[in-house]
Every structure is written in C-alpha cells, then in structure tokens.
Structure 1
C-alpha cells in the first residue's frame, strides 16, 4: 500500500530541490516512489503541476516506435510512425497515473502565491535514512497532509521543524 505525503514550502525553488533529493534517494534504494509532483502557485489563479514524467511525450515516443514498426510491415514506416506518435501522445495526454490532478490543484489553491508543495506517493522507504537525508530542509517546509501513521507523521513533522534530536533515533 502506498503512502501520500504533501509538504508545502514558501518558495518554488525548495519544492524542486526536495523532489531532486527524493529522486537521488530513490537511486540509492532508500525510497521507492510511485509519483513525485511539484505544485506551484505563481499568482492567485496560476496553479501549475510539474509532473516527474511527461506522459504525453512518453506516449508519443512509444507510439512512434510501434507505429514505425507496424508501418514497416505494410511498407509505409513514415505514415505508421506519424499515426503511432499521434495516437500515443493522445493516449498519454488522457492517462492519469499516481496522484489525482484535481486534488493537487485544490491543495495548490491553499498555497501562498510564490509557494510550492511536493506531493509524494511512496511505496516503501527506509524512514530513518530518508529523514536524515532531508536534514537541510529543516525549518523550510511544513507537512500539509499524509496518510502515514500518527507516529511516523509526527517524526516527519519534527524532522522538518528542525528538532533533529527527537526526529531521528540514534544509531545503535
């Protein structure tokens, strides 16, 4: 079962920095994420979702490949690639995996203009090591919402508030 974590920041840059750090941790096998999205609010009505994966582009590339391959069979690879890319892009455009876009836009309206929020859908993680790696985000973010247990959510809140002694247990 996946856990949802939403952390807000007063500026846009910090949200992107956190997502970058989470991706690094995923490469180090400390966290396994299904989705990581940065939501920014530039002005009153300007809410933008910065997805980690552009499904439209991915669909176009995959569709172009398969279209060209099928086109080779029917002796017209260019037409097959064009049709496949168009169909793949359209399929990618209307595919929504991970965190619900409408939910993220709703939460985005609660941000102050110029702020950001990071939405993370976590499959599994090594919590103590992840909290230690997020050390430089102390006093910079606040937890808006999680589906974590009360105890784990409190540890995350303490880690972001800068209370390092209580948030991360000492190593044995």
Structure 2
C-alpha cells in the first residue's frame, strides 16, 4: 500500500529541488516513489501539473516507432508514422497512472498563487534516513495518509534545521 504526502512550498523551484532530492534518494534505494507531481497555481487561479513523465509525448514517440515499422511493411512509412504518433499520443493522453489528476487539481485550489504543492506517492521508504535528508527543506504539510506518528516526524523534519 502506498502513502500520499502533499507539501506546499513557496516556489516551484523549491518544490522541484525537493522532488529532485527524493529522486536521488530513490537511486540510493532509500525510497520507492510511485509518482511525484508538482502542482502550481497561477495568478489568475489556473492549476498546472508538472508531471515527472509526459505520457502524451512518450505515447507519441512509441507510436511513431511502431507506426514506422508497420508502415515500412506496407511500403507507406510516412502514413505509418503519422497514424502511429496520433494513436500513441491519444493512448498516452488517456493513460493516467499514479496520483489522480482531478484530486491534485482540486487540492491545489487551496494553495496561494505562486506556491507549489509537491504530491508524492511513496510505495516504501527507509523512514529515518529519508527524514534526515528532508531536514530543513521547509514547506507546510497539506495532507498525508501517514499515521499520526510518521506525520509528526515528517512535520518536525521539514521544519527543523537543515542537516
């Protein structure tokens, strides 16, 4: 079972730095992330999601490759690439994995314009070591599915002095 953690930071850059740190910790096998998305709110109130992976672009690239391959067999490579890219992009657009986009947009409505909410879906982690790296990163915990003890430890770590 995965745990959801949402932390609000004053800027997109700060949220991006924390997400990068978590991705580095993942390379060290200290944490396993299912998803890490940053939601920002513009001055006019629009919510923008900054996904780790653009599924539409990935689908288009994959579709282009397979479309080219099929198109070469039928001696119509250009048509194959176009059809493959379009169908791949559509498939990527419809593929929503990880944290539900509507949930993130609804929750991000509560943040101030210019702020960024970091949504992290954690499959597993070595809690004490991850919290040590999170010390002093700042931010405000908006929502978690952690138990009360772990949530208190997270709040103390991010508000405490940097490691």
Please give the TM-score of this superposition, normalised by the length of structure 2: 0.93
The superposition leaves residues 101-124 of structure 1 with CA deviations (integer Å, 9 ceiling, x where unpaired) of 111111111111110110001111
Q: Which runs of 5+ in 2 are unaligned?
A: none
State the Cα distance separating 1:72 from its structure 2 match: 2.0
The superposition leaves residues 51-90 of structure 1 with CA deviations (integer Å, 9 ceiling, x where unpaired) of 0100000000111111111112212222111110110001
Residue aligning to 2:160: 162
Residue aligning to 1:169: none
Residue aligning to 2:129: 129
State the Cα distance separating 1:163 from its structure 2 match: 6.7
The superposition leaves residues 15-34 of structure 1 with CA deviations (integer Å, 9 ceiling, x where unpaired) of 11111111111111111111
Please give the TM-score of this superposition, normalised by the length of structure 1: 0.89
Aligned residues: 162
Residue aligning to 2:90: 90
Q: Following TM superposition, where does structure 1 have runs of at least 4 consecutive aligned residues deviating by more than 4 angstroms?
A: none
SS in 2 for 1:68: helix
Structure 1 residues 10-159: aligned runs within 5 Å: 10-137=10-137, 140-159=138-157
SS in 2 for 1:60: helix
State the Cα distance separating 1:46 from its structure 2 match: 1.9
Tell me how far apart the structure 2 counterparts of residues 44 and 9 of structure 1 sit (CA, whole Å). Answer: 19
The superposition leaves residues 90-147 of structure 1 with CA deviations (integer Å, 9 ceiling, x where unpaired) of 111122111111111111111111101100011111111111111240xx21111111
